[in-house]
Amino acid sequence: MSKMTLQDLRNLRDAKRQDVRARDSAGKSIRIIVGMGTCGIAAGAKETLNAIVDAVAAKNLADVLVRQTGCMGLCHSEPTVEVIQPGMPTVIYGCVNAAQAVQIVEQHVIGKRLLDSLICDRPAADIVH
Amino acid sequence: MHATLCDYIADVVHNAVEAGATSVDLDIHASPVWMEVTVSDNGKGMDAERLRQARDPFFSEAGKHDRRRVGLGIPLLCQAAEATGGAVDIRSEAGRGTTVTFRFAAAHVDAPPLGDLPGTLVTLMALPGDYELTVRRRTPVGDFAVARHALQETLGDLTEALNLALARQYLAALEQDAV
């Protein structure tokens, strides 16, 4: 792959987009939020984010938004992944590596089962939003 | 600890976006002697006193972590750059913006590797908020430029996993041609 242009990128996107009537952001009901503050990045959150992005793209989950956030005050448990999903409790998973990130997508998002051993906490109280 | 140049780049760009910048320019320039990075923003800037405090490892701006006793990003960057004979230059004007330039001697034994630039750039493009990020990458072999608004126009919402994966693919292709 060389000299990829923006038009090439647009074509690639159109080719990959199998669901022609994919909903826009407003219609997506599932949010996966990865902590990408410097604490998260130092703990490997980039690999975690990549694993989630690849898993969601590979399984063609059109209803999922992947967002980054800054530090949530849970620096001791980075990388953190929050999953907001209708019908499931909102949870923050802590110490999530790439393999566990894939498990979250498969077990929590698709299988609708919590990964109890990975659950961490709510954002720390001293973080000002 | 930061293991790669990309970690330092991410730190400084995060600072720029968190300073409320609507426009951030990131220039990554590799020459045979230096690896030089410039991050220029139009955020809230710093007055002389705040500029002095920025290099203080025991200073952290209020608001994000009110009980934090350290602010290590810039001091550690200074230490790492100076260990290779490089330097960190920060110019700022309150209300107008800040420009941070840092360089490492590329061949020095203590110089960090570049790291995963495409992956880092994708995360910098996908931060929450409305800001323009223009990246310019220059090497002896080639160069490329990419802008956040262009990626958003081409791909759509950058919080969609498919778009993030495609953006990373695009940036990896550009980087491959430049090295």
User: Residue A1's pLDDT band (boundaries 50, 70, 90)?
Assistant: very low
Find chain A residues with C-beta within 8 A of B120's C-beta.
46
Pair B4, B112: CB distance under 8 Å: yes
Quick one: closest CA in A to B175, which residue? A2
* DSSP single-letter state for residue A105: I
Q: Residue A24: what pLDDT? A: 53
Cα of A100 to nearest chain B Cα, Å? 17
- Any A CB within 8 A of B22 CB: no
User: Which residues of B are less than 8 Å from A128 in CB distance?
Assistant: 63-64, 66
Q: Do residue A65 and residue B127 have CB atoms under 8 angstroms apart?
A: no
Model confidence at A125, pLDDT cuts 50, 70, 90, reads low
Option in A9, A49, A127 nearest B166 (CB): A9
Between CA A117 and CA A93 the distance in angstroms is: 9
Q: Considering Cα of A51, then A55, then A57, then A63, what sign does the dihedral take?
A: negative
* % residues pLDDT > 70 (chain B): 97
Question: How many domains does the structure of chain B reveal?
Answer: 1
**Residue of chain A whose alpha carbon sits nearest to that of B120:** A46
Instruction: Show residues of chain B in contact with A83, CB under 8 Å.
Output: none
Q: What is the CATH number of the domain that holds B159?
A: 3.30.565.10
Interface touch A2/B177, C-beta < 8 Å: yes
**Three-state DSSP class for residue A3:** coil
H or E element: which one contains B93?
strand B87-93
Residue count of chain B:
179
More confident residue, A19 or A3: A3
Span A61-104, pLDDT tens digits: 888 989 888 777 788 889 999 999 998 888 999 999 999 999 99
Distance of residue A66 Cα from the nearest chain B Cα, in angstroms:
5
Identify the band that residue A129 occupies on the pLDDT scale cut at 50, 70 and 90.
very low
Q: Collapsing DSSP states into helix, strand and coil, what is residue A108?
A: helix
Residues of B in contact with A56 (CB under 8 A): 161-162
Residues B166 and A17: their CA atoms lie apart, in Å, by 11
Q: ∠ at Cα B98 (B147, B7), nearest 5°? A: 60
Contact indicator for A4, B174 with CB cutoff of 8 Å: yes
Which residue range is the domain that position B50 belongs to? 5-178
Predicted local distance difference test score (pLDDT) of residue B160: 81
The pLDDT of residue A120 is: 86
Q: Using pLDDT thresholds of 50, 70 and 90, give the confidence band for residue A108.
A: very high
Count the neighbouring beta carbons within 10 Å of the beta carbon of residue B45.
20
Cβ contact (<8 Å) for B63 and A69?
A: no
* φ, ψ for residue A15, nearest 5 deg: -70, -35
d(CA A81, CA A91): 8
Classify residue A97 by burial, with Cβ atoms within 10 Å: 0-12, 13-18, 19+: middle
Contact flag A68-B7 (C-beta cutoff 8 Å): no
Domains, in order of start, for chain A: 26-118 (3.40.30.10)
- Closest-CA distance, A35 to chain B, in angstroms, reads 11
Residue B4: DSSP 8-state: S
Comparing CB atoms, the residue among A9, A38, A56 nearest residue B73 is A38
- Residues (pLDDT < 70) of chain B are 1, 63-67
Interface test with B, best of A1, A9, A16, A67 (most B CBs within 10 A): A9
